[in-house]
Structure 1
Amino acid sequence: MSDAHNNDEHGGELATVGPIADPGLPEHQWRPTDVDPAKEKRAERQVAALFGLSAVCVILFLVSYFTLDIGDNWHVVAGFGASTMALGATLGLALLLIGVGVIHWARKLMGDHEISELRHPARSSDEDREATVNALTVGIEESGIARRPLIRNSLLGAVGLLGLPAVVLLRDLGPLPGKKLYHTIWGEGTADKPMRIVRDGIWTPILASDLEIGDLVNCQPDALHNPERYDIDPTEVEGVNLQVHKSKASLVLLRMDPNDIKPGKDAKGNSRENWDVQGIVAYSKICTHVGCPISLNERTTHHLLCPCHQSTFDLADSGKVVFGPAGRPLPQLPIAIDDEGYLVAQSDFDEPVGPSFWERDYYDRW
């Protein structure tokens, strides 16, 4: 180094400083629980008590859920109702107590050793990896979870009970559907009053003679507009009930050359030869993938395309999937003509409409 570099701006000389010595780790300070067995046992009981209190809070949450109504007129703090306060406080305390218990366990009872580690490349060497695995093994042993059954069992009990609020809160998603997913209002028609197929939105019945080859019509059951005709209580097709029925019963009609139709088999293995009328077929409008409404028609191929994820169904071949993520064909509705020449449903769909669900039993039609 030149003299210019050895002098500072005031003319003084700069001393050459070598590497800073490693100061090492400070002397280890033993915790009271490390040297006093009585304090160790007391800390263990404290941790277990925190976990136990968490379990009690979960039980109080369940009691509050089933005993306090949302519509209670008495309030607790800042206008919040008793139900809201009780559920929030008990569930919050349950989670908090588990967190405090784990922290207390780590600070008082788990291994307490000062360590230092040099920086290393992104990928550790095999020796470091092996040392890390060994350190984790030692850490598990030093945590005492194997030799402290009181803490282990109380923690497992507290964490296990935390699953109950999640299960109970599923009730708030609404009543279970039961068998409602398996049936639609199309099945309300009878032999003397078969359910008419009407145009969606304008509710006019459809004459088979009015449809030409290539025509696609969006339809609904007549019962949604004229419930009395089918001896249905009008209140069953109002408000939310109306939307539920429409979401399940939405239909598309397509007329094609009768020679293009390849009749499949129904759920009982019987032929579907009598399910169409003069080349007019009827299928659910609800995609079997995730339930999007579909009506994009490829006129020359008789394919119906879902705009959401491009699932494509062949309406000339039992609604089979020819492309896309849908796993099941579109359900087909058997149709006929009544005495006045209007299109009617012979019966309900022979399988659930819409996307799959876990209780759905499906037969192989391929």
Structure 2
Amino acid sequence: MNHNETTDPGTGSALVPASDSSDHGHELLPASLVRDADRFENPGLPAHVHRQADDDPKAARRAERQVATLFGLSMLATLVFLVSYFAIPDESVFFFPGIGRAKTQNVVLGLSLGFAIFLIGIGAVHWAKTLMSDEEVSEERHLQASTDEQRAKAVAVVKEGVESTQFARRPLIKYSLGGALGLFALPLGLQVAGSLGPVTVEELKHTIWDPKDNGGKPIRLMRDPEMTPIKFDEVTNGSVFHVMPETLQKYIDEGKHVLEAKAKAAVILIRLDPNDIKVQKARDWGVDGVVAYSKICTHVGCAVGLYEQQTHHLLCPCHQSTFDLTEDCAVIFGPAKRPLPQLKITVDDAGYLVAPEGFAEPVGPSFWERAR
């Protein structure tokens, strides 16, 4: 055995130093591994291939202009988004081949915003491929902590990498990229400021259950999704109906705002023994034990659709908020803070269930303006 070798007490195999350098220390490895490693040559790095922009200042300036053009087109697409948001009527629709009728504004906004971010991405890729440094760099890894000198060297490498992007040397790219990214942020702020608020309590209360949307006449309750009317004598004790207003049909026929209308108008209709209803208002707003409540949970707006007949509890599947039908849908468990709003119903001359008025309070997640 070589005098520089030692023996692994566990396996009896020879161990040799993995490296004699002061940086790595004397790490002992099995001699067989060292001999196997000697059979493979270090492939090294391939010869660096210079790009045209590396050696030709004209090519570099041309690439700079191309990148700036892409960023400029991104700004133009963002401006199209901003103009379209205000200029295209919300009711404007057109027939899209293969899809059907679509809102013109949605299509233009989606395409313009998509092109804006796509052009920023393409510009960044072209910048990296033509102007940023593509010198291959490798660094040997070691097990010991870095010294102060090595950390300083790493910082220097990072700074050198930043300089290799030529960001400081190419003001045209810097300003065009800043403009593209700056303009691209505007649609996001516009969506928040223009589409999400502010709204009034009356707007929150309004749903398509409002008789004003039906010429002032009571609105028939329709099965969802069949959109067929419900007769009072069809609602047996313990039965559950998922209900939409008859006025939804107008939105379906026109092909606009259907999802928005359904999201606020969803109602659950249930019949229980009138003697089980403990709140007088809930009995008065129903018909012989048939009551209708909003399906939109007052926590975060999930659909409340699970009914337990023995306990008369309604359960929201998202966060387990539980409402007691016998107590005018008061919250008895979970994070919801408000009862489900009740929809007042009656029976018309033909025996169909109808809603003579809309909800008396906002549906959905809780609002501080609500009376209870």
Query: Once the 2 structures are TM-superposed, how far is the Cα of residue 143 of structure 1 from its aligned partner?
Result: 4.2
Amino acid at match of 2:360: D
Letter in 1 for 2:278: I
CA drift at 1:206? 1.5
Specify the code of the residue in structure 1 equivalent to 2:272: R
Aligned partner of residue 340 in structure 2, secondary structure: coil
1:11 aligned residue: none
The 5 A counterparts of 1:340-359 are 344-353=354-363
Unaligned runs of 5+ in 1: 3-15, 74-82, 171-177, 226-233, 264-270
Q: Is the 8 A contact 1:54 1:158 kept in 2?
A: no
Change (3 A) 1:259 1:17: closer
Deviation, structure 1 residue 100: 1.0
2:270 corresponds, among 253, 259, 264, to 253
- Which secondary structure state, in structure 1, belongs to the residue aligned with residue 210 of structure 2? helix
**Alignment partner of 2:131 out of 81, 105, 108:** 105
Question: C-alpha separation between the residues in 2 aligned to 1:304 and 1:72?
Answer: 42
Q: TM-score, normalised by structure 1?
A: 0.54
Offset, 1:217: 3.5
User: How big is the shift at 1:54?
Assistant: 0.6
Secondary structure at the aligned position of 1:252 is classed as: strand
Matching residue of 1:154: 176
Tell me what 1:53 maps to. Answer: 69
User: Judging changes above 3 Å, is the alpha-carbon distance between structure 1 residues 32 and 61 closer, same or farther for their aligned structure 2 residues?
Assistant: closer
Does residue 327 of structure 2 align to residue 301 of structure 1? no
Give the distance between the partners of 2:96 and 2:343, measured in 1 at CA: 48
Q: Which of the residues 282, 299, 303 maps onto 2:292?
A: 282
Q: Secondary structure at the match of 1:313?
A: strand
1:17/1:288 Cα in 2 relative to 1: closer, same or farther (>3 Å)? closer
Match 1:120 to one of 142, 146, 153: 142
The answer to whether the 8 A contact 2:64-2:170 is kept is no
Match of 1:183?
206
* Gap regions ≥5 residues in structure 2: 3-34, 85-92, 98-107, 192-198
Question: Quick one: distance in 1 between partners of 2:189 and 2:370?
Answer: 34
TM-score normalised according to structure 2 size: 0.53
For residues 236-259 of structure 1, the C-alpha deviation after alignment (integer angstroms, 9 at most, x for no partner) is: 664757976666243323435556
Identity of aligned residues (%): 36
Matches within 5 A, 1:219-238: 220=243, 223=246, 238=253
What letter matches 2:292 in structure 1?
A
Aligned-partner SS, 2:311:
coil
Give the count of matched residue pairs. Answer: 303
| Distance (whole Å) between structure 2 residues aligned to residue 340 and residue 27 of structure 1 | 89
- Residues of 2 paired with 1:312 and 1:243: CA distance? 28
Q: 1:148 to 1:260 in 2, by over 3 A?
A: same
CA positional deviation for 1:53: 0.8
Shift of 1:283: 0.4
Distance 1:192-1:328 versus aligned 2 partners, 3 A rule: closer
SS at match of 1:251: strand
CA separation of 1:222/1:134 partners in 2, compared to 1, >3 Å: closer, same or farther? closer
Residues 1:361 and 1:147: Cα distance change in structure 2 (over 3 Å): farther
What are the residue-to-residue correspondences of 1:157-168 with 2, within 5 Å?
A: 157-161=179-183
CA distance in 1, matches of 2:36, 2:206: 87
